[in-house]
Amino acid sequence: CPQRPLSAQSAEYGTCSLRKMSAMEALELLDQLVDESDPDVDFPNSYHAYQTAEGIRRAHPDKDWFHLVGLLHDLGKVLALFGEPQ
């Protein structure tokens, strides 16, 4: 199988060298974003992440990995603050 060239995004973001931040820093940055899928929501995007994680924790108290996934599920949206489309 011939190797395919890296996409522009893979080349740009794949090395993780443009900016380093913790998950909590990225979560806080999300609060600066107006999400195109929910433009009329009045609460910060991080609140949605906490709500999701808490809902999963209540429904699945024994699956701590799932609680974390709920918290982190929208972190990729932070790329919109750096010029990527939503």
Q: List the binding residues for Fe cation.
A: 48, 73-74
Annotated binding site: 48, 73-74
Q: What backbone torsions phi and psi does residue 19 show, to the nearest 5 degrees?
A: -160, 135
- The full 3-state SS of 30-49, as one line of letters, equals HHHCCCCCCCCCCCCHHHHH
Distance of alpha carbon 24 from its chain centroid, rounded?
Answer: 10
